[in-house]
Amino acid sequence: MDNNPFSSDWMAGWNTLQRKMWEDWSEVTQSSWTNAWQTESPMSFFRDGMNRWPNPFAAPTQTPEAMAMRHAMGSMEEFMRMGREVFKVFQGMSDSGNVTQEWTSQLDKAIQQAKAMFAQGSQAMFGNLGNMGGMGGMGGMGKMGNMEEMTAFMSRPMKAWTEFLGSNPAFSNDTMRSLLAGGQATEEALSRFLSMPGLGLNREKQEKVQEGMRLSMEYRKAFEEFQKLMNDSSKRALDLLHRKLLEMGAEGKSMQTMRDLYVLWVDCNEEANAATVTSKEFNEINSRMMNAMMRVRRNMAESMDDSLAAVNLPTRRELDSAHRQISTLRRRIGNLEDTIRELQGKDASAEINTLRDDMEKLGVRRLREELTALKLQVEEALTAPADGGAESADKLAIKKTVRIGNAKPQPAATAPAQKGE
Amino acid sequence: MFPFAINPEKAVEELARFNQKLAAGVKTFTEVGHIESGISPKEAVYREDKVTLYHYAPRVENPHRVPILVVYALVNRPYMTDLQEDRSMIRGLLDEGMDVYLIDWGYPDASDRYLNLDDYINGYIKRCVDFIRDRHDIYRVNVLGICQGGAFSLCFSALHPDRVRNLVTMVTPVDFHTPDNLLSQWVRNLDIDLLVDTMGNIPGDLLNVTFLSMNPYRLTGQKYLDMVDLLDDKVKLKNFLRMEKWIFDSPDQAGEAFRQFIKDFFQKNGLIKGSIRIGEQRVDLANITMPVLNVYATKDHLVPPDASKALKQYVGSTDYQEVAFNGGHIGVYVSGRSQKEIPPAIANWLKERG
């Protein structure tokens, strides 16, 4: 194999090796492991996670081992892909015959091309997303099935890298432009429909449908706003990468491994993401999108309820009502049980005990012990043989007091003290 | 200078080595065995609805006379406090002679959608505390609240100071509006009523994505690439998988409790303003007169240190101490270093106070 990193020979050899790795893997996975990750997008866990919760029929079935292995496979795939794409770009530089002098302009060109994809407005990276999200989120959370591209972008910087380099025709700018054009036309048609007044028997139904469409349009706008924000973040990540590579070049530093490049790219994305998600703008835009999406979902749920009620099936409203009553009953039972318990006197001594505990903490026990010791000394002094064994009434009184104050033989007095600890 | 000194032979070797590790990892995966949820022996001693109170088997002959009740957050599973033998806060407390109880909130479903904070604090926590009081014939227990469970513990201690002997809070948010509180900023403009009315219970996965969004590239990509380096070590891999299981084991949140927590705590910052009402009672942190130990993490990105340290100026206790752990929100109870530092610090502090 030629040792020139940008030669065709080297790339062919590298590709062959890579292909063999995947073939080996296919064999391994088919023979000894579930093929879940093999058939799906390897890093699709993020999408799966988001898909699961709005889907009432889905359930988490994967073990941590299977999930983690899938993720590792995904990482490997991206790692490999990164290598291929990076070398593809550098091969182009190499073919020009002057790597050392032209690399900065080639790099600048590649970065600018990648940024241009974001500047086109949107869905080059995010695709025709329904959304995804979280409260701090990376988007909305309505139509989860179409969020794969965005998820991939988030979770796979290397996929993003390859797409920046225009390697994926599925996300060409032409595709995006047509989608956007279609969206605008649809919006105009919807606006006309929404301006129609409702009439007759179906007036209410028509108004509900119109309301739902209006909410959907609002959500679409909010989501596009969010997309633009995240696109800007991605562009900042590219600028960072660009800057850091140039700095390395200027300082005479260089990356020694593919892993170094991967980590640098992740760092750039994280840095750009951190700046974005801590901004006031993000909070406002993300919240606007989430709120808009919730309005759409609520409208959908209400429509579904109406349909269910029409065929005499239980509705969400009815279930909510039942659940509310269950909670109220549970609460009442709990309170009644607490009341019964208190009436049974289990807590009757709580206040006294609390006071006793406070006294204990103030050192009363130590004082009591000292007092007991003093009394014992007095008693010993009084019972000393010097008086010839005759006891006065006063001495007897002191003895009695000492017995009461002596904690050792008095279980009635010691029990609360122990409880107080 | 061209900033890539990636020798082709070396690069192929690097990728091949990576691939070999991953391939070998399949074998390790098959050998790693069941991933446990908690390692210390424990017994369920009280159940109510989906809530279970566990009592851990003491590890000393005569454990400390006042039991400690661990109140964990609702958003994740409490076995994080007992992840593995050398990374278990529970184990550490047991080794220090503590008698440990823990509330497991379970997995709320649709029938729990109307559980509110009154149910959790004046209901479940209070009844668990009362159970322990009866069982041990004591009238005050020690309480250890973690994260959201710490906020709950503060409310409980303020409402029932006669039931709490000493209060320990760990990575607990108190002032929710510190400038560096990202979670608080994210929910500030959300229409929580709309969210809960629409979703009912809030899906755990939604919260997971929210947390992952703080470091999406590292947590969903780089972490797994790094994992490949562990694949030749069964013990390390199992430890990784334990954490992985915990991260994605996120119960749904009961809708009403979530609504109240986000609105009153996050949006209105009611804990320090004294505006939170649990049931019929107002939560006044000045009612917390028992000794307080506040443990926070200096690199906590979820509950920034200032959000925790605010507690000092609001509690009524004259016996207030802080422990600063040099680590993050999770590391404070799972890192090997925390195992050596935190349980002894808590146990000694408790022992000093009887």
Of A182, A10, A194, give the one whose Cα is nearest residue A95: A10
Which member of A256, A273, A421 has the closest CB to residue B6? A256
The closest of B149, B125, B154 to B320, measured between CA atoms, is B154
- Give the residue numbers spanning the domain of B290: 42-202+252-352
Return the CA Rg of chain A: 38
List the helix and strand counts (H, then E) for chain B.
Answer: 16, 12
B123 occurs within a structural domain: yes
Q: What CATH number has the domain bearing residue B115? A: 3.40.50.1820
* pLDDT for residue A199: 66
H or E, element range at A15: helix A8-32
Contacts of A417 in chain B (CB under 8 A): none
Of the two residues B334 and A198, the one the predictor is more confident about is B334
Interface of B with A in 49-78 (CB under 8 A): 49, 65-66
Instruction: Identify the CA nearest to B245 among candidates B5, B27, B25, B34.
Output: B34
Q: State which residue of chain A sits closest to B123, comparing Cα positions.
A: A334
Question: What's CA A334's distance to the chain center, in Å?
Answer: 34
Establish if A331 touches chain B: CB-CB under 8 angstroms.
yes
Residues of B in contact with A257 (CB under 8 A): 6, 10-11, 14
The helix/strand/coil state of A285 is helix
Contacting residues of A for B118, CB less than 8 Å apart: 331
- List the 240-259 stretch of A: residues with Cβ below 8 A of B: 245, 248-250, 252-259
Chain A nearest C-alpha distance from B311 (Å):
24
Span A137-148, pLDDT tens digits: 433 333 333 333
Winning range, highest mean pLDDT, from A12-16, A33-37, A160-164 = A12-16
Q: Is the pLDDT confidence value at A106 over 80?
A: no
CA distance A324 to B258: 15
- Is the minimum CB–CB distance between A288 and chain B shorter than 8 Å? yes
> What backbone phi and psi angles, to 5 degrees, belong to A288?
-60, -45
Structure tokens at B40: 């210390």
Residue B221 lies in a domain: no
Interface probe, candidates B120, B209, B219, chain A, greatest A C-beta count within 10 A: B209
Q: What is the dihedral of CA A17, A22, A25, A26, to 10 degrees?
A: -140
Instruction: Give yes or no for residue B32 having a pLDDT over 90.
Output: no
pLDDT band at A93 (very low <50, low <70, confident <90, very high): low
**DSSP, residue by residue, B128-143:** HHHHHHHHHT-S-EEE
The 8-class DSSP code of residue B335 comes to: S
* Residue partners of B311: CB distance under 8 A and separation at least 6: B154, B169, B172, B174, B285, B292, B294, B320
Question: Do the domain assignments include residue B245?
Answer: no
Tokens standing for A190? 């919807």
Chain centroid offset of residue A407 CA: 59
Select from B113, B107, B75, B263 the least CA-distant residue to B198. B113
B289: pLDDT strictly greater than 70 = yes
Sign of the torsion angle spanned by Cα atoms A405, A408, A413, A418: positive
CB-nearest to B221 from A63, A75, A420 is A75
Active site residue B155: no
> CA B46 to CA B44: how far, in whole Å?
6
Provide the shortest C-alpha distance from residue A124 to chain B (in Å). 19
- Residue A383 is predicted with a pLDDT of 82
User: Which residues of chain A are within 8 Å of residue B210 when distances are taken between CB atoms?
Assistant: 134-137
- The closest alpha carbon to A265, from A160, A166, A168, A122, belongs to A160
From A323's Cα to the closest Cα of chain B, the distance in A is 5
Token digits of residue A225: 């706003």
Query: What pLDDT does residue A59 have?
Result: 40
Question: What helix, strand, coil percent values describe chain A, rounded to 5?
Answer: 75, 0, 25
Contacts of A262 in chain B (CB under 8 A): 222, 225
Name beta bridge partners: B324: B296
Nearest to B191 by CA among A296, A294, A277, A317: A294
C-alpha atoms less than 13 angstroms from C-alpha of A128 in its C-beta half-sphere? 12
Q: Does A135 touch chain B (CB under 8 A)?
A: yes
CB contact under 8 Å between B248 and A67, yes or no, is: yes
| Overall number of domains in chain B | 1
Q: What is the mean pLDDT of residues A392-404?
A: 46
Residues A6, A11, A16: CA angle, nearest 5 degrees? 170
Measured distance CA(A144)–CA(B282) in Å, rounded = 41
Instruction: Using a CB–CB cutoff of 8 Å, tell me whether A144 touches chain B.
Output: no
Beta B100-104 vs B68-71: how paired, if at all?
parallel
Smallest CA–CA separation between A382 and chain B, in Å? 37
**Alpha-carbon distance values, A407 to A84, A368, B145, B261 (Å):** 84, 9, 37, 50
- Mean pLDDT is highest, among A35-39, A41-45, A299-303, B226-230, for A299-303
Q: Please say if the pLDDT value at position A53 is more than 90.
A: no
**How many other CB atoms sit within 10 Å of the CB of residue A392?**
10
Give residue A15's pLDDT: 45
Q: Which of residues 182-241 of B touch A (CB under 8 A)?
A: 182-183, 185-191, 194-195, 197-200, 203-218, 220-225, 227-228, 231, 240-241
Nearest by Cα to A421 from A375, A357, A370:
A357
pLDDT value at A182 more than 70 = no
Q: Which of A313, A357, A172, A2 is nearest to B140 (CA)?
A: A357
Using CA atoms in the order A329, A331, A337, A342, what is the torsion angle rounded to 10 degrees? -150
Q: How far apart are CA B88 and CA B36, in angstroms?
A: 13
User: Domain segments of chain A: what residues?
Assistant: 8-97+106-315, 316-348, 359-419
Decide if A69 and B11 are in contact by the 8 Å CB cutoff.
no
Please check whether residue B12 lies inside any domain of the structure. Answer: no
- B residues 283-342 lying closer than 8 A (beta carbon) to A: none
Question: Per DSSP, what are the bridge partners of residue B103?
Answer: B53, B71
The residue with greater pLDDT, B324 or A90, is: B324
Instruction: Tell me the mean pLDDT in the region B269-286.
Output: 96
- B/e letters for B207-246, b = 16+ CB within 10 Å, e = fewer, are bbbbbbbbbbbbbbbbbbbebbebbeeeeebbbbbbbbbb
Residues A208, A302: contact at Cβ < 8 Å? Answer: yes
Average pLDDT over residues A18-45: 37
Interface test with A, best of B36, B77, B190, B237 (most A CBs within 10 A): B190
Helix (H) or strand (E) holding B296: strand B292-297
What CA–CA distance (Å, rounded) separates B217 from B223? Answer: 9
Say if B210 falls within a structural domain: no
Buried b / exposed e over A81-98, threshold 16 CB at 10 Å, is: bbbbbbbebbbebbeeee
B310 inside domain: yes
> At A44, is the pLDDT very low, low, confident or very high (cuts 50, 70, 90)?
very low
Across the range B168-191, mean pLDDT stands at: 94
Shortest alpha-carbon distance between residue B84 and chain A (Å): 16
More confident residue, B115 or B230: B115
Which token pair is B327? Answer: 């680590």
